[in-house]
Amino acid sequence: MVLASGCTAEGESAGRESRGGGTGESGVAGRPAATQGGGDADGPAPAPAPTVEADPAKVPRTKAAAGRLIGQVIAGPELFGSEARRDSPYESDPDTWSVLDENCVWQREPLPERVLATLTRHFVRPAAEGKGAVRMTVTVTVHPATADAAWEQAGMLEEALGCSEQTLSEGRKLSNLFSNASVWGEGGNNFAEDSLFEIGTCSSAGEGGPYPYQYQQATFGPVVVSMSACAGEGWDAQGLLTEVNGPVPRMLLRAEKHIGRPVDGTGTKADPAGWAVPGAAGDTTAAAATEGM
Is 293 among the domain residues? no
pTM of the model: 0.76
What is the distance between the alpha carbons of residues 206 and 202, in angstroms, rounded to a whole number?
Answer: 12
Share of the chain above pLDDT 70, in %: 71
Contacts with 134 (C-beta within 8 Å, 6 or more apart), sequence order: 124, 125, 229, 230, 231, 232, 235, 240, 243, 244
Is pLDDT at 171 greater than 90 in this prediction? no
Q: Which of 67-81, 247-261, 264-278 has the lowest mean pLDDT?
A: 264-278
Residue 23: predicted pLDDT: 28
Beta bridge partners of 140: 119, 225
Q: For residues 224 and 210, what is the distance between their CA atoms, to the nearest angstrom?
A: 28
Confirm whether 103 is domain-assigned.
yes
Output the domain CATH number for residue 79: 3.40.1000.70
The answer to whether residue 108 sits within a structural domain is: yes
State residue 45's pLDDT score: 60
In a domain, 292, yes or no: no
Q: Exposed (0-12), middle (13-18) or buried (19+): which is 45, by Cβ within 10 Å?
A: exposed
Is residue 122 assigned to a domain? Answer: yes
pLDDT at 145: 94
In the chain, the number of structural domains is 1
Q: Is residue 39 part of a domain?
A: no
Asked if residue 47 lies in contact with residue 38, where contact means CB atoms within 8 angstroms, the answer is no
Q: Is the dihedral of CA 274, 256, 258, 198 positive or negative?
A: positive
Q: Which residues have C-beta within 8 Å of that of residue 139, sequence separation ≥ 6?
A: 4, 5, 6, 7, 14, 17, 18, 74, 92, 118, 119, 120, 121, 224, 225, 226, 227
pLDDT recorded at residue 164:
85
Task: Please check the confidence at residue 43 and state whether its pLDDT lies above 70.
Answer: no
Is residue 285 in some structural domain?
no
Give tens-digit pLDDT for 87-146. Answer: 999 999 999 988 899 999 988 899 999 999 999 999 999 999 889 999 999 999 999 999
Confidence of residue 44 (pLDDT cuts 50, 70, 90): low
* pLDDT tens digit sequence for 215-237: 999 999 999 999 999 999 999 99
Of these ranges, 112-121, 152-161, 175-184, the one predicted with the greatest mean pLDDT is 112-121
Domain that holds residue 172: 11-34+45-276
d(CA 51, CA 35): 17
- Residue bearing the bigger pLDDT, 82 or 86: 86
Q: Is residue 189 part of a domain?
A: yes
Tell me the Ramachandran region of residue 188: left when phi exceeds 0, alpha when psi lies from -120 to 50, beta otherwise: left
pLDDT of 187 over the 70 cut: no
